[in-house]
């Protein structure tokens, strides 16, 4: 289903996203101050399917492409007041998806090894709230990920790191218990990578 949706998304938006194909990309936070500044730009953006594209990309990110989660979150924030900079970021994500559609997650056999990685970006949003994220890998393949704004405004990078680690810990405990409930016995859990504090 995701492959069909992805193909449809690529074809629908292909004419809008022409240019060099990307194998890797970075996106900087798109601030609200980059919203349309003139009536001409506002009128132009009314004809652009930005919200529709972001919604389609969100489905792909949730089902098959965890590596675009942060970039998608950044572009999702400003859907109601998207400007040209936001649309350019959305097209960049689409180009990246188009170029990496043949990249697969591979899970190897053997003993189950669950690895967790957690990080934060201190006060990276306009409202001074920090961003948390984590990713969990089972035998080398990604099985869970999250990128979200922290609910609390913090005063230090250490505090932001603790909040990110706390969020990751909740999922760690759940996944470990679930894997054992399925009857797979012991699970090696790399906590040192999950907590950077």
pTM: 0.57
Cα–chain center distance at 15: 25
pLDDT along the chain (197 residues), means of 10: 46 46 49 69 81 85 78 76 81 88 74 77 64 79 77 74 78 83 63 46
Read off φ and ψ for residue 47, nearest 5 degrees: -90, 0
Euclidean distance between CA atoms 76 and 73, whole angstroms: 5
Q: In this predicted structure, what is the pLDDT of residue 123?
A: 62
Cα distances from 147 to residues 60, 70, 96, in angstroms, run 15, 6, 19
What integer pLDDT is reported at residue 124 of this predicted model? 60
SS3 helix, strand, coil % of the chain, rounded to 5?
50, 15, 35
Distance separating alpha carbons of residues 92 and 98, to the nearest angstrom: 10
Tell whether 60 and 119 lie within a shared domain: no
- In terms of domains, do 83 and 19 share one? yes
Handedness of CA 76, 81, 86, 90 (dihedral sign): positive
Which residue range is the domain that position 8 belongs to?
2-99
Number of domains the chain contains? 2
CA 112 from chain centre, in angstroms, equals: 25
* Residue recorded with tokens 């089902």: 63
Residue 147 lies in a domain: yes
Q: Are residues 86 and 121 in the same domain?
A: no
Of 39, 74, 99, the residue at which a domain comes to its end is 99
């Amino acid at each position: 289903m995701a492959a069909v949706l992805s193909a449809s998304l690529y074809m629908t938006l292909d004419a809008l996203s022409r240019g060099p194909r990307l194998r890797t990309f970075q996106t900087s936070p798109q601030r609200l101050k980059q919203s349309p500044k003139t009536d001409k730009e506002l009128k132009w953006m009314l004809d652009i399917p930005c919200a529709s594209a972001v919604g389609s990309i969100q489905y792909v990110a949730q089902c098959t492409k965890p590596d675009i989660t942060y970039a998608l979150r950044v572009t999702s924030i400003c859907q109601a007041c998207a400007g040209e900079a936001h649309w350019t970021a959305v097209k960049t994500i689409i180009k990246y998806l188009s170029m990496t559609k043949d990249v697969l997650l591979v899970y190897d056999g053997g003993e189950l090894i669950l690895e967790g990685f957690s990080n934060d970006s201190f006060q990276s949003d306009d409202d001074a709230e920090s961003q948390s994220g984590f990713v969990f890998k089972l035998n080398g393949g990604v099985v869970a990920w999250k990128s979200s704004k922290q609910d609390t405004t913090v005063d230090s990078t250490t505090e932001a790191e603790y909040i990110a680690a706390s969020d990751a810990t909740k999922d760690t405990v759940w996944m470990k218990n679930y894997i054992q409930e399925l009857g797979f016995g012991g699970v090696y859990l790399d906590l040192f990578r999950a907590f950077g504090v």
